[in-house]
Amino acid sequence: MKKTLLIGLVVAALVCAFALPNLSAATKAPADMVLKAPEGMKAKKSPVAFPHGKHEEMLKDCKVCHHTFDGTGEVKGCAAAGCHDQPGKKDKMAFYKAFHGKDKKTCVGCHKAEKKGPKSCKQCHPKKK
């Protein structure tokens, strides 16, 4: 009887240790997204179809792109208030720079460094219809 109780407690502890953290994890982002300029900012090019799921598989760590994410709470996108919601191209907080900078933490910078993925305007921004 004691042996059965002990095994049951060990199994319960393992379930709690491995399953419960997954239940409280952040909501999974959609596999495919459309990236748009923040509200009130006029974009010169069309929105970008973004395969988030593919990047999630390759990079594994959300903090590579979502550099303010602390591992808990909500994961915010670049257009979120206080992140890269500034217009222009030169300011480090500019929305444009978050995607087009030369730093490996940006879309274009990473694609060039890794030598894969789209690197030209037309490959990401289809012509507006």
Average pLDDT (11-38) is 67
CA distances from 33 to 29, 30, 49, 51, 110 (A): 9, 6, 6, 6, 19
**Domain-embedded: residue 105:** yes
Tell me which long-range contacts 94-103 makes (C-beta under 8 A, separation of at least 24). 95/37, 95/38, 95/41, 99/35, 99/48
- The band of 19, judged by pLDDT with boundaries at 50, 70 and 90, is low
**Domain-embedded: residue 41:** yes
Is residue 52 scored above 70 in pLDDT?
A: yes
**Domain-embedded: residue 4:** no
Q: Indicate the number of domains in the chain.
A: 1
- The band of 51, judged by pLDDT with boundaries at 50, 70 and 90, is very high
Least confident of 11-15, 80-84, 100-104: 11-15
**Domain-embedded: residue 11:** no
What's the CA gap between 118 and 110, in Å, rounded?
A: 10
Is residue 111 scored above 80 in pLDDT?
A: yes
Is residue 44 scored above 80 in pLDDT?
A: yes
Residue 112: CATH number of its domain:
3.90.10.10
**Domain-embedded: residue 17:** no
**Domain-embedded: residue 20:** no
Is residue 50 scored above 50 in pLDDT?
A: yes
- What is the domain extent for residue 99? 28-124
**Domain-embedded: residue 19:** no
Mean pLDDT of the chain: 80
**Domain-embedded: residue 8:** no
Is residue 25 scored above 60 in pLDDT?
A: no
- The band of 89, judged by pLDDT with boundaries at 50, 70 and 90, is confident
